[in-house]
Structure 1
Amino acid sequence: MNRLFIILSLLFYTTTIGAQYYLRGEIKDNRGKKLEGVTIQIKSKGIIPFYSGKDGDFGIPLNKSEDSIYLSLAGYENARLLANTNLFQQIVLEMLPSTARLYQKNLSSDITNLKREETMQYVGMGESYSGLIENGFIKTDQYPQTGFSLNIDKAAYSNIRRFLTNEMFVPLDAVRTEEMLNYFSFEHPNKNTTPQFSMESMVTDCPWNSNNQLVLVKAFAPKLNLEKIPPSNLVFLIDVSGSMDHPNRLPLLQSAFKLLTANLRNIDTISIVTYGGNVSIALYPTSGADKQAINTVIDSLSANGDTPGENAIKVAYNLAKGSFIKGGNNRVILATDGDFNVGQRTEKELEDLIVNYKEYGISLTCLGVGMGNYKDSKLETLSKKGNGNFAYIDQVAEAEKILVKEFTSTLFSVAKNTILQIEFNKEAVLSYRLIGFDNKKDAIADSSAKLLGGEIGSGHVSLALFEIELGNKEVLHKIAEIKIAYESAITPSSEVQTFPLENNYQPIHLVDSASRRAIAIAAYAGMLRKSRFLKDFTYSNLVSLALTACNPQHLVQNELLYLIQKADKLYNPSTKRKKNRNN
């Protein structure tokens, strides 16, 4: 009996001296966000690291009541403190300035005097679109300079096509003029073979206001030599949840990714992550040469389960990090209807998640599909925060356009954080209005929001339109100066280029058809958005303008004509009835 008592006493003594105390706490940043994965080192434990959990919490056994702890996390200031096990530790890590900037709301354009109450977020049919504030006229003598973010997003046009094809009204905030112009950017020949941007501009008539004129700016991005395109490290992140079980969702994406696979080279690396019910690595990093293996995995996908989008994004980025190619095109391609219903779901939470990975040099391309529960606002948020781009696929032909015909523009970046600034001559221009590049309602409401540039792909042509009210018509020299600032992906450096904008007025009937088409597209967008600036412009006017700019024998141009006429019939049914009675 005495022997047993001695053994039990020794066991109790050994246990208590090994872990007498327990240090507990949680770690947040200075915005109150709980931080996962913070490295915690305890002085008495030597080099053994501990980590905070998903909710920023930690619990560490100690053999003394007080100990020095050291905390570190990429993007945050390191912290050192003396911790007492008798107290629950509530630790705040301060963001580095570079990290803090990433969490600011992003403006699409640097426009003043916007009214917050003009719009609201659209959530009809289960779909969601971010509320936008339309840019108004700015007095040049007060604010002669403005800027806006350039990108290659094209989602709005094909999404609008989906609504009109189904004879449905288009949500106002689904109309983003700059994306509609981007969709047709390939029609403007890009002969730029230099490592820098080139620029063209023109002044012409404003079809919806004869008192004003239009300024059209074209920024031609550098074109990569196809033989020198760097190797790609691509992770296909494919939503296979139950919501994707429709012909225009998962099957459409399977066709899209097989088209992309056909373009892969031996030097490219492909991985596939799927999520639906759970997250799975369907294909570990594989050479682009092994197309059969890649296509076999794509063909095997089926839709089922809920949508654990948060964990899937983490797995995809970690896989991309593991096969990272220095100097290569490292990119996650997320394909989904955006219906994240498990994990971090709000735009704000998704922003935080993506921003955490952005600093690793991995870009994000978002491909949206589906209708009825399509979450445009979420995918737009992800692509902007992920330093990438965004497109909507409504048919196989659209997938071919984005991933085959415009392959290099979609997936190979030549410039990041790209911003175009323009300063108007106060003597020549009384006021101006930037058409498109409208800001989100929540960005306008946030006083800390800043203008953040976008990603530009190889050979992309960015289009921008201004409606201007001329002042002194005798001013024949330049009416503005344009600057384009960006981080070059060709020669890693920050660049600023300056171009004059001359008063080279031409009547609209004399300008080239591609430029007239861009003006018609901007008018089309304004009509769909029910812009107050086009209240006297009719669909009949729009059709007449489009007919002068579109070639009926050209597939895409003919489709544009068809969609404009479709919108006319949908939004003006009385006009259609009158025509029928006359016949």
Structure 2
Amino acid sequence: MKRILLLCACILACGQLIAQTVRITGKVLDINTKDPIQGATVRIDGTHFGSLTDSTGKFICKVAKGNFTLEVSWIGYNKLVKSFSMNDTAVLIELTPSVQALQEVAVVAYAPQKRENLTASNVMIRGVATAPVAEMRSDYIGTPVSRDEFAAIKENRYRFVQQQPLSTFSSDVDKASFSLVRNMLNMGNIPGKDAVRVEELINYFEYDYPQPAGDAPVAIQADMAQCPWNPAHQLVRIGIQGKTIPIDNLPASNLVFLIDVSGSMSGANRLPLVKQAFRLLVKQLRPQDRVSIVVYAGAAGLSLPSTPGNNKDAILGAIDRLEAGGSTAGGAGIQLAYATAKEHFIKGGNNRVILATDGDFNVGISDVGELERLIEKEREGNVYLSVLGFGMGNYKDNRLETLADKGNGHYAYIDNFDEARRTFTTEFGGTLFTIAKDVKLQVEFNPAKVQAYRLVGYENRLLENEDFNDDKKDAGEMGSGHSVTALYELVPPGVKLEGPNVDPLKYQATEAPVIRSDEVLTVKVRYKHPEGGASKLLAHSLKGGPRTVGESPESFRLAVAAAQFGMLLRKSEYAGKSSYAGALALLGGLKGADAEGYRGQLVKMIKQAMALEDIARKD
């Protein structure tokens, strides 16, 4: 009986406590940039109740009726303790950056955290009954757990030339993984393995390949050096360079900006950054170009009818008026964008939809397969789709990469204004204007020179060997001035291949044939002109032996450093003797110009990863 009375008393007390609390919402911003701060801890002073801010800087918690005090903190900012009255049900908190605070907390804050540790970060609320932070209910929590999605990558393994002499894959000029990795490192997080696509880290850089000669829109080159992470092996670099066409000579553009204005795009690194990016693009437009704007949230709508490129005030005004709110009718938006593009189709021109989103399609056509079929159908009519990704926390990289791939377009992740400038100013022609489509590469290895090989990256771009000559098989595109770089790790004959292996073949020849040729391999490239149906073939053979890495061109060493960095982030079983220090040493010896600072960014990212992993080991 006493237990029952005690239980009733507890229930009554809890009911009274709940009745005496109010729900408050708030937002935490950087006081200088007004950017939202994700992951900030907001604690009700004097208790263990609190919340974490989501990707838009928002938080929700319950406080006792009456005055209350919030304690707010985050890495690199001064802690703020501020009192509010019971009338403040929506509060705004601005944190001041502090270099000293960042230095003091970096040693522990960058370490990988479990969910319970994250929810227990230093946050407090006065006037509510106490409870362990690990037991905080979900209605006290913002959105502390990331819902970013990346496609799983299974690394390429070694292939024996006697069994598989051909390696075939689609070109890839996307660079999204580099800026995704950069953004994660800047936030103090070690990227997940599947966020790291090594080929996109390699292809973020320009390598000064010679321009194509004659009428061909692309040219092939290849060179070889000793493999730095496995000195018994060799490393071959294959470069495909697209012809650079002056902007004035590019065909007229019929562009449709398809902009996600749903509620998930409200953060400062989303719709406001989208606006900045498209403003940069508008400044590049010519009188012969045209722009339409389609927006989608709970429904899709035409925000700007097709407008000539020299009417910049009208286009910029329509961009400036965009605001975020609502759900995400992504499928309906894509349908309206394609219909608008076809209505104003320019024969022989650049007809393209440019999608800007965080990838959170949740209304309308949300099935990836259905979206793919729609986009594949429209590309046959020479209306292409480029994709720009923004934001983190609910980012759907896997979906956006697939849509751009199916749409014969470029995929980029825009994490800051500089990346927007690169995409729409520095590389304007390459981003928007296709000079060759369905670009496929096939490499044939000479068994007298190569025992086994491994393609570094491109796992989601592999093709069947017979796809190379099949003009119905879709492949990657190349824009004006774009280049494609691929690395192969080669195992020479007689060198023991470490790791799991297949048994010797019983019915096939096991001895390498004697081939009287000094060719190591032959690279073949098939491509189509943007509106052409039949592919054309180019071929190039690599002869001679490897040099040391120190004797190789600076651009070769840059590619190798980027590859090592990617393999280390992925914890690759093929990384061999790779090290962050080794990658930095390769970059430190480069003397060439780095006008845009891209190489400097790679150095910074490597140092960040070194520090984060060192902290994780000590934790």
* TM-score relative to the length of structure 1: 0.73
Q: Quick check: 1:430 aligned with 2:451?
A: yes
Tell me if structure 2 keeps the 8 A contact 1:152–1:389.
yes
Q: Spell out, residue by residue over 1:41-61, the C-alpha distance to the aligned partner (whole angstroms, 9 max, x if none).
A: xxxxxxxxxxxxxxxxxxxxx
Tell me if structure 1 keeps the 8 A contact 2:357–2:388.
yes
Cα distance in 2 for residues equivalent to 1:576 and 1:164: 18
Gaps of 5+ in 1: 1-123, 444-449, 578-583
2:569 maps to 528
Cα distance in 1 for residues equivalent to 2:237 and 2:576: 22
1:559 is aligned, of 601, 608, 611, to 601
Cα distance in 2 for residues equivalent to 1:574 and 1:518: 27
Query: Secondary structure, in 3 states, of the residue corresponding to 1:133?
Result: coil
1:469 is aligned, of 491, 501, 514, to 491
Q: Spell out, residue by residue over 1:404-447, the C-alpha distance to the aligned partner (whole angstroms, 9 max, x if none).
A: 11011111001111101100001100000000101389x9xxxx
* 1:216-365 correspondence runs (5 A): 216-365=237-386
1:481 maps to 522
Cα distance in 2 for residues equivalent to 1:195 and 1:163: 42
2:388 maps to 367
Query: Secondary structure, in 3 states, of the residue corresponding to 1:343?
Result: coil
Query: Secondary structure, in 3 states, of the residue corresponding to 2:535?
Result: strand
4+ long deviations beyond 6 Å? 472-476, 550-553, 574-577
Tell me if structure 2 keeps the 8 A contact 1:193–1:223.
no
* Structure 1 residues 412 and 261: alpha-carbon distance in aligned structure 2, compared to 1, 3 A threshold: same
Query: Secondary structure, in 3 states, of the residue corresponding to 1:485?
Result: strand
Tell me if structure 2 keeps the 8 A contact 1:347–1:378.
yes
* 1:404-553 correspondence runs (5 A): 404-439=425-460, 452-471=474-493, 477-489=518-530, 493-549=534-590
Query: Secondary structure, in 3 states, of the residue corresponding to 1:169?
Result: coil
1:188 maps to 208
Larger mean Cα displacement after TM superposition, 504-513 or 420-429: 504-513
Query: Secondary structure, in 3 states, of the residue corresponding to 1:465?
Result: strand
* Structure 1 residues 535 and 469: alpha-carbon distance in aligned structure 2, compared to 1, 3 A threshold: closer
Tell me if structure 1 keeps the 8 A contact 2:355–2:387.
yes
Tell me if structure 1 keeps the 8 A contact 2:327–2:363.
yes
Q: How far off is 1:174 after superposition?
A: 1.0
Query: Secondary structure, in 3 states, of the residue corresponding to 1:224?
Result: coil
1:70 maps to none
Q: Name the Cα RMSD after superposition.
A: 2.3
Cα distance in 2 for residues equivalent to 1:216 and 1:177: 14
Q: Quick check: 1:401 aligned with 2:419?
A: no
Query: Secondary structure, in 3 states, of the residue corresponding to 1:324?
Result: coil
* Structure 1 residues 201 and 440: alpha-carbon distance in aligned structure 2, compared to 1, 3 A threshold: closer
Query: Secondary structure, in 3 states, of the residue corresponding to 2:452?
Result: strand
Cα distance in 2 for residues equivalent to 1:398 and 1:465: 25
Cα distance in 1 for residues equivalent to 2:525 and 2:180: 29
Q: How far off is 1:268 after superposition?
A: 0.4
Cα distance in 2 for residues equivalent to 1:215 and 1:513: 14
* 1:27-106 correspondence runs (5 A): none
Tell me if structure 1 keeps the 8 A contact 2:172–2:461.
no
Cα distance in 1 for residues equivalent to 2:437 and 2:594: 36
Cα distance in 1 for residues equivalent to 2:215 and 2:383: 22
Q: How far off is 1:224 after superposition?
A: 2.0
Aligned length: 447
Tell me if structure 2 keeps the 8 A contact 1:569–1:575.
no
Tell me if structure 2 keeps the 8 A contact 1:324–1:330.
yes
Q: Which amino acid aligns with 1:470?
A: P
Q: Which amino acid aligns with 1:467?
A: E
* TM-score relative to the length of structure 2: 0.69
Q: How far off is 1:277 after superposition?
A: 2.1
Q: Which amino acid aligns with 2:208?
A: H
* Structure 1 residues 228 and 492: alpha-carbon distance in aligned structure 2, compared to 1, 3 A threshold: farther
Query: Secondary structure, in 3 states, of the residue corresponding to 2:519?
Result: coil
Cα distance in 2 for residues equivalent to 1:553 and 1:455: 26
Tell me if structure 1 keeps the 8 A contact 2:199–2:486.
yes
Cα distance in 2 for residues equivalent to 1:223 and 1:357: 27
Query: Secondary structure, in 3 states, of the residue corresponding to 1:533?
Result: coil
2:65 maps to none
Cα distance in 2 for residues equivalent to 1:422 and 1:287: 45
Larger mean Cα displacement after TM superposition, 232-241 or 143-152: 143-152
1:382 maps to 403
Gaps of 5+ in 2: 1-144, 465-471, 496-513
* Structure 1 residues 216 and 553: alpha-carbon distance in aligned structure 2, compared to 1, 3 A threshold: closer
Q: How far off is 1:190 after superposition?
A: 4.2
Tell me if structure 1 keeps the 8 A contact 2:157–2:454.
yes
Cα distance in 2 for residues equivalent to 1:307 and 1:556: 34
Cα distance in 2 for residues equivalent to 1:330 and 1:240: 23
Query: Secondary structure, in 3 states, of the residue corresponding to 1:125?
Result: coil
Cα distance in 2 for residues equivalent to 1:519 and 1:327: 39
Q: Quick check: 1:170 aligned with 2:211?
A: no
Q: How far off is 1:515 after superposition?
A: 1.3
Query: Secondary structure, in 3 states, of the residue corresponding to 1:565?
Result: helix
Tell me if structure 1 keeps the 8 A contact 2:280–2:425.
yes
Cα distance in 1 for residues equivalent to 2:532 and 2:481: 16
Q: How far off is 1:323 after superposition?
A: 0.3
Tell me if structure 2 keeps the 8 A contact 1:264–1:288.
yes
Tell me if structure 1 keeps the 8 A contact 2:211–2:219.
no
Cα distance in 1 for residues equivalent to 2:195 and 2:443: 27
Cα distance in 1 for residues equivalent to 2:489 and 2:334: 41
Query: Secondary structure, in 3 states, of the residue corresponding to 1:434?
Result: strand
Q: Spell out, residue by residue over 1:190-223, the C-alpha distance to the aligned partner (whole angstroms, 9 max, x if none).
A: 4335331222111101111111010001111122
Cα distance in 2 for residues equivalent to 1:480 and 1:343: 49
Cα distance in 2 for residues equivalent to 1:535 and 1:239: 43
Q: How far off is 1:151 after superposition?
A: 2.5
Cα distance in 2 for residues equivalent to 1:226 and 1:355: 28
Q: Spell out, residue by residue over 1:219-275, the C-alpha distance to the aligned partner (whole angstroms, 9 max, x if none).
A: 111222433211000000000100000000000010000000000000001100001
* Structure 1 residues 403 and 284: alpha-carbon distance in aligned structure 2, compared to 1, 3 A threshold: same
Tell me if structure 1 keeps the 8 A contact 2:298–2:363.
no
Query: Secondary structure, in 3 states, of the residue corresponding to 2:315?
Result: helix
